[in-house]
Amino acid sequence: MLGHFAKSGTTPKRHLAEFTGFEEVNLGDTITVELFADTAFVDVIATSKGKGFQGVMKRHGFGGVGQTTHGQDDRARKPGSIGACSYPAKVFKGLRMGGQMGSERVTTHNLQVLKVIPEHNLLLIKGSIPGFKGSIVSVIK
């Protein structure tokens, strides 16, 4: 990787990303927030927060099984029936069940740009930005 950085004339960086659609930018140039000075809305792409293994109520918004009375003490947050009877005698692929949630690439569209501060290279965006604090995000015009 040091050869790539030497060819571009920059110091080694922690994160590399490739973007297309820049006509006036050359190899090794620095891109600042002044690019967004005339932009009102942007899209933000990042990896969402990981939430671990979650059940069907949190992961897919299921309502639970019936009421919590009349002996329903252990099935309130369960998915309910997952298959048919003796035919087809299997659970179909793709059935919504509990599992790993989060840690996915998420795009949030049409977030409003409130202010561009070129002195500090800051971009103030109104809305929900995916990812944890300090994570790397891509801002697209």
pLDDT digits (tens, 9 = 90+) for 41-86: 999 999 999 999 999 999 999 988 877 777 777 788 888 888 888 8
**What was the pLDDT predicted at 71?**
77
Q: How confident is residue 3, by pLDDT bands cut at 50, 70 and 90? A: very high
Q: What percent of the chain has pLDDT over 70?
A: 100
The answer to whether the Cα torsion of 88, 92, 98, 99 is positive or negative is positive
CB-CB contact of 21 with 72 (8 Å): no
d(CA 30, CA 12): 14
CB-CB contact of 57 with 97 (8 Å): no
Q: Which carries the bigger pLDDT value, residue 25 or residue 134?
A: 134
Residue 51 pairs in a beta bridge with none
Q: Which carries the bigger pLDDT value, residue 132 or residue 69?
A: 132
**What was the pLDDT predicted at 127?**
95
Q: Which carries the bigger pLDDT value, residue 4 or residue 125?
A: 125
**Mean pLDDT across the stretch 18-40?**
86
**What was the pLDDT predicted at 84?**
85
Per-residue pLDDT at 92 exceeds 80: yes
